[in-house]
Amino acid sequence: MRGVEKESSTGGAPLRDVCFLGDDMLALTSQGVLVRIETNGKQSVLLSGHFSPTPTTQLRACATLSDNRVATAGMDRLLCVWDVDSKRLVNYTRLLRPARCVDASEDKIAAGLDDGSVAVVDASTLEIFLTIKGGSHTKTEVEERRHHGLGPCGLMAAQSAGQQHETLNAQKVSDDGVDSVRLTSSRVAVGRRDGSLRVYAMDGTQVVAYNNCGSRIIQIDWDASQNYIRCATAAKELRWFDIKQKKTISAQYASELDWERPTTVFGRHCVAAWSSSFIVASCHAARGLLASGSDAGVLRLLKSPAVVRGAPGVDVKAHASSITSVRWSGDRLFTVGGRDRSLLQWRVVPLMEKKPLTPTQKARASQFWKDARSKLALIAKTSHTTVGALPVDDDDDVVSTTSSSAARKTGARSALCHLCGRELCENQPVS
CA torsion 248-251-253-255 (nearest 10°) is 130
Closest CA to 370 of 399, 344, 392: 392
What's the Cα-to-Cα distance from 398 to each of 364, 388, 410, 411, rounded to whole Å?
19, 10, 19, 20
The range of the structural domain enclosing residue 322 comes to: 273-350
User: Is-above-0.85 flag for pTM?
Assistant: no
CA distances (Å), 65 to each of 187, 218, 274, 329, in order?
Answer: 17, 22, 29, 8
Same domain for 310 and 193, yes or no, is no
Instruction: Check whether residue 325 and residue 222 sit in a common domain.
Output: no
Q: How many domains in the chain? A: 4
Per-residue pLDDT in tens (0 to 9) along the chain, 431 residues: 333 333 333 346 677 788 888 888 888 877 777 888 888 888 887 777 787 767 668 888 999 998 889 999 998 888 999 999 888 888 889 999 999 999 998 889 999 999 999 999 999 999 998 999 875 544 444 444 444 444 444 445 544 554 444 444 444 444 578 999 999 989 999 999 888 999 999 999 999 999 878 889 999 999 999 999 999 999 889 999 999 999 999 988 998 999 989 999 998 899 989 988 899 999 999 989 999 999 999 999 999 888 888 788 889 999 999 999 999 998 899 999 988 888 999 988 877 666 777 888 788 778 877 877 777 777 666 654 443 443 444 344 433 333 333 333 333 333 344 344 444 433 344 33
Question: Rounded CA gap, 81 and 104, in Å?
Answer: 11
- Position 363 in a domain: no
* pLDDT (tens digit per residue) in 267-322: 889 998 998 889 999 999 998 999 999 999 999 999 988 888 878 888 999 999 99
E strand residue ranges, 22-107: 24-29, 34-37, 43-47, 59-64, 69-74, 78-83, 88-94, 99-105
Rounded distance between C-alpha atoms, residue 89 and residue 83, angstroms: 6
Q: Is residue 144 located within the same domain as residue 71?
A: yes
**Pairwise CA distance, residues 385 & 410, whole Å:** 8
* Same domain flag for 88 and 151: yes
Distance CA(81)–CA(285), nearest Å, equals 23
Q: How far apart are CA 94 and CA 117, in angstroms?
A: 15
Same domain as 318, residue 411: no
Q: Under a CB-based contact definition with an 8 Å cutoff, are residues 239 and 157 in contact?
A: no
The answer to whether residue 361 is domain-embedded is: no
Rounded-to-integer distance, Cα 220 and Cα 24, Å: 49
